[in-house]
Amino acid sequence: MNGYLPSATVEGREVDFLILALVLVSCAVLALVFGLILLYVVRYRADSGVYRGAPGRKTWRFEISWTAATLAVFFVLFIWGGDLYVRLFQPPADALQIYVIGKQWMWKVEHQGGQREINALHVPINRPIQLVMTSEDVIHDFSIPAFRIKHDVLPGRYESLWFQVETPGTYELFCTQLCGVGHYSMSGEVVAMSQPEFETWLAGGAAPGQREDMAAAGKALFTAHGCSGCHGEGGVGGSPATTGVSAPALAGLLGRSVKLQTGATVTADEKFIRDCLLTPDKMPIAGYPQIMPSFSGQISEENVLRLIAYIKSLKSGSRT
């Protein structure tokens, strides 16, 4: 299995190393436990005449020592596992973002250039990839065992998963959260290829002529759904003088902190944009009247993602 052992990612190999350490600790403990049991059942079997001596009394010394030893080993394992976990789930800032939507029972993938695939994910090697994932229905889980990584994919949220592949190849992709009758069939493959091959793949594929860049598609939606009517063409923001109502500027929104009327401050991420779109009354922005209508039920998950891609693409000087 090329790419499974050793794992196709650096982090995967680190996970394997941790698992190996756990295996060794377990073997040591099992050897101790089974060894002692075996020793005692032979040595102290009822009909053995071996001298038992006076029964020991001070049990607490033993208790303190094995409790302390156990705690020490556990603490090392905790730190090790925790440190690696934090790295596993913090994507580098320069990661290439790819969008994933799970639904009963398939994975839909969309690249920024608008290339779409089903139950397959093509990625370049040696480059951090971040998947931005959501579900149309139940909870799914995007799992790539060869990379030792997985994460649940929830409806109404964007969860993220990142990895950087070293070994080119084709790897199994599974849904690992029970999602209904077709759960077992919700699998596919991840194809890792060199950067030039990946670019060729991006350029080729089905009907490249009809394909539209996600941000460009988002721009069209931005006009079609009337967003620009309040937020202005290009999301520059609206005021009574320009668009007739005051509406916040969307350029450079991602990563900015936004003050809500409730007094809370939130960092604008993908989920924030989604919530503003679908449940605006729960996200009243400080300084603006809450007049934005809800687009819930009117925009598909894919189109929400395209709108987000468009808003991300809007650059602005006000970015902090």
Partner 1 sequence: MNPSAAPASYLDDGHTLRSWLFTTDHKRIAILYIGAITFFFFVGGFAAFLIRYNLLSPKGLIGSAETYNRLFSMHGILMVWFFLVPAVPVTLGNFLAPLMLGARDLAFPRLNLLSWYLFMVAGVVALYAVVGGGVDTGWTFYTPLTSFYSKGHVIAAVVAIFIAGFSSIATGLNFIVTIHKLRAPGMTWYRMPVFLWSLYATSVILVLATPVLAMTLLLLAFERIFGIGVFDPKIGGDPLLFQHLFWFYSHPAVYVMILPGFGVISEIIPAFSRKELFGYKFVVWASIAIAVIGFLVWGHHMFVAGTSLFSALVFSLLSYMVAVPSAIKVFNWIGTMHKGYIHFDAPMLYAIGFIGLFTTGGLTGLFLAALAADVHLTQTYFVVAHFHYVMVGGMVSAYFAGIHFWWPKMTGRLYPEMWGRAGAIIIFVGFNLTFFPQFLLGYLGMPRRYFAYPQHFEALNLLSSAGALTLAVGYILPLGYLTWSLFYGERASANPWGATGLEWTTPSPPPTENFAVTPIVTEEPYQYRQAETVNHE
Q: Is 142 exposed, middle or buried (0-12, 13-18, 19+ CB in 10 A)?
A: buried
Cis peptide before 289 (omega within 30 of 0): no
Write the CB contacts of 62 (distance below 8 Å, at least 6 apart in sequence): none
Residue closer to partner 1 (CB basis): 1 or 206: 1
User: 252: helix, coil or strand?
Assistant: coil
Residue closer to partner 1 (CB basis): 150 or 256: 150
Residue closer to partner 1 (CB basis): 32 or 291: 32
Residue closer to partner 1 (CB basis): 49 or 209: 49
**Cα distance between residue 95 and residue 305, in whole Å:** 17
In the bound complex, what is the minimum distance in angstroms from residue 135's beta carbon to partner 1?
9
In the bound complex, what is the minimum distance in angstroms from residue 255's beta carbon to partner 1?
18
In the bound complex, what is the minimum distance in angstroms from residue 16's beta carbon to partner 1?
8
Residue closer to partner 1 (CB basis): 176 or 313: 176
Give, in degrees to the nearest 5, the angle at Cα 159 between 157 and 161: 165
In the bound complex, what is the minimum distance in angstroms from residue 84's beta carbon to partner 1?
4
Q: How far apart are the first and last CA of the chain?
A: 46
In the bound complex, what is the minimum distance in angstroms from residue 31's beta carbon to partner 1?
11
**Cα distance between residue 130 and residue 133, in whole Å:** 9
DSSP per-residue codes, 101-153: EEETTEEEEE-TTS-EEESEEEEESSS-EEEEEEESSS-EEEEEGGGTEEEEE
In the bound complex, what is the minimum distance in angstroms from residue 37's beta carbon to partner 1?
6
Residue closer to partner 1 (CB basis): 52 or 315: 52
